[in-house]
Structure 1
Amino acid sequence: MAGPLGAEVFLSVLCAEGLTVVEVPGWRTWNRNAKGPWGALHGVMIHHTVTSGTARTVEICRSGYEGLPGPLCHGVIAKDGRVHLVGYGRANHAGLGDPDVLRAVIAETPLPRDDEATVDGNRAFWGFECENLGDGEDPWPSVQLEAIERVSAALCRAHGWGAGSVIGHLEWQPGKPDPLGFSMDGMRARVAGRLHIPVPPTPPTPTKPVVDLSLLIRAAQHDPDQVGTPVSYPGVRIVEVALVDEGLLQKGYLDGHYGWSTRTAYSAWQESLGYRGRLPGQPADGIPGLATLARLAKKHSFDIVA
């Protein structure tokens, strides 16, 4: 049993599994939640669409048709392997099914024959429609089958399920034939194999560079005419890059030392914000203060330590 992942997490786990995802506008809030609950979730259900043409298939699965409003699934797996997200929440895909099948999915035990239709499947399963005519002759390209495998594995990973939580519509509701053209036992074996392949960790979000205001002031107050090594630290260069981007400092003076060129450029930045020197007609001092540095940091994506 598991609660919904949240739309952004759902998207991220599919992408992490190496899938190409197409976001249909509005998918995050398109659902049938007003008509009934969604969750707890117990598995992933695979369907075929009995349609041809990806654009037409996606539109039908998003909007539905007379007598069955959309969304008809959460995602459409096209023949080229791309996954088109059409909805998030309760979707009209599973209908009523067999309670014994649901218990087997939850326990991840062999599925019994589906001979009842008394349990709401729309609340209990993720649903994916796969572009196929469903006549037993329309081929299933290898990239599409791999996408079904990856989608199923991605959601099993996210919820801590095994491959036994992946079923076909034909295993849930009496009289349903889908998906026709490949074996669900074979697909579960593929999913089980993929679950043993680690997913590369998501690269950490790059952190913003940080400028220590006290060290920056110390560097800025250093007298450039004083004999000795100029006072500097990496934060000076961060500020200089921002001043170059502002067009206030020539790139040739981007050297990490708070010399006269940097100080003059920072003075121009202060004056652009309305600051002036202490005496009439005197330019701004070019020594960074919290207010002016905060404005520069916000504009050029670095943080400051005051």
Structure 2
Amino acid sequence: MAPPASASAFLKALEQEGLVVVEVGDWRDHNRNHKGPWGPVHGVMIHHTVTKGTASTVRIVREGYAALPGPLCHGMIAKDGRVHLVGYGRANHAGLGDDDVLAAVIAERDLPVDNEATVDGNRHFYGFECENLGDGKDPWPEAQVEAIVRASAALCRHHGWSARSVFRHLDWQPGKVDPRGPGLDWDDIERRIAKRLGSKPPTAPRPTPSRPVVDLSQLVAAARSNPKAAGQPVTYAGVRAVEAALVDEGLLAKKYSDGHYGTTTVQAYAAWQRRLGYSGKDADGIPGKTSLTRLGQRHGFDVKG
């Protein structure tokens, strides 16, 4: 078990690894600690932001959205390799994830494929968001990749962790696809982190997560089945992939991402439909093929039916 580094030690570790660090406002005291504990910490999680432009990205990850308040990470790694510190402490970056993955990170061994969302990752991991559109096409400049390597190595060095303590959001939570894109070879990043730490690189590649498949007919049935019901989920696993996507879009609060396609999820999906330009009965919160496919393309799931 490792207590989080102090904010000063965190900053020093990054700078000693040769990074250019930009301190944003009151980052040392900007956190979500009032919502739960921060620590013990066990690893470093890397994300992409689905945004464009450094200034706007810094603002978003610092302030968050109405449904997902900031900070959304501890540091934002821009395309030029600068690390913008936006918060320190508990941050809304990891969400719920797989307890078997947590156990593997702690043990620094090969990760299993994530298939559950039961453990609070915001408590246990440092988080770096990386400026990228997240469409699988936006490139990752070498300066940004090197900054990922150095930021990860800095925290591993501070805590005495290996490169296996660094992983991706997609390794943690089902339905996530970040980070991805041309120029981002995760196995190579792990080797580079290990080299900086003077240790042997991992011998086994990270598992390739399978893309969830959301059955449209089942999802429609879920959306129409007693939406006012609460408590025990009444639907099927595909609902979680859709809920996670709506959370990422800032349309659904994380506390409602529970596998139950209730009134709040219907309202969130209706907001997604309106964002696509639909109105009236076409924006009633009941998924259609086109709107669901568009959501899946952005958030890493396929649509059946």
TM over 0.5: yes
Aligned to 1:191: 193
> Which position in structure 2 is the counterpart of 1:51?
51
Matches within 5 A, 1:24-35: 24-35=24-35
Q: What displacement does 1:185 show? A: 2.4
- The 1-side partners of 2:187 and 2:45 are apart by 13
| Higher CA-based Rg | 1
The CA RMSD over aligned residues, in Å, is 0.9
Q: Which amino acid aligns with 1:49?
A: T
User: 2:70 is matched with which residue?
Assistant: 70
Match of 1:166 in 2: 166
Which residue is equivalent to 2:6? 6
Deviation at 1:183, TM superposition (A): 3.1
Q: Deviations over 1:196-237 (max 9, x none)?
A: 19xxxxxxxxxxxxxxxxxxxxxxxxxxxxxxxxxxxxxxxx
- Partners of 1:59 and 1:91 in 2: CA distance: 15
Residue by residue, what CA displacement relative to the aligned partner does 1:181-205 show, whole Å, maximum 9, x if unpaired? Answer: 22332221111111119xxxxxxxx
Structure 1: runs of 5+ lacking an equivalent: 198-306
The number of residues matched between the two structures is 197
Q: Secondary structure at the match of 2:80?
A: coil
Q: Give ranges in structure 2 of 5+ residues lacking alignment.
A: 200-305
Alignment pair present for 1:155 and 2:152: no
* TM-score scaled by length of structure 1: 0.64
**Who is 2:269 aligned against?**
none
The aligned residue for residue 234 of structure 2 is none
What code does the residue aligned with 2:189 have?
A: M
1:27 shift after superposition: 0.1
**Structure-2 separation of matches of 1:108 and 1:128:** 19
Secondary structure at 1:127's aligned position in 2?
A: strand
1:236-255 residue CA offsets vs partner (Å, 9 max, x unmatched): xxxxxxxxxxxxxxxxxxxx
Which aligned segments of 4 or more residues in structure 1 are displaced greater than 6 angstroms?
Answer: none
Aligned: 1:132 with 2:141: no
Query: Structure 1 residue 38 and structure 2 residue 38: aligned?
Result: yes
TM-score, reference length from structure 2:
0.64
Distance 2:137 2:34 in 1: 38
Q: Output the CA distance in 1 between the equivalents of 2:108 and 2:7.
A: 26
Separation in structure 2 between the aligned mates of residue 32 and residue 186 of structure 1, nearest angstrom: 33
Q: Counterpart of 1:108?
A: 108
- For residues 184 and 88 of structure 1, the distance between their equivalents in structure 2, rounded to whole angstroms, comes to 26
For residues 73 and 62 of structure 2, the distance between their equivalents in structure 1, rounded to whole angstroms, comes to: 8
> Which whole-Å deviations, capped at 9, do the CAs of 1:130-173 have from their partners, x for residues lacking one?
00001111110000000000000000000000000000000000
The one-letter code of the counterpart of 2:56 is R
SS of aligned partner of 1:144? helix
Q: Distance in 2 between matches of 1:185 and 1:8?
A: 30
State the 1:4 CA deviation: 1.0
Q: Cα offset for 1:85?
A: 0.1
The residue aligned with 1:235 is none
The equivalent of 2:83 in structure 1 is 83
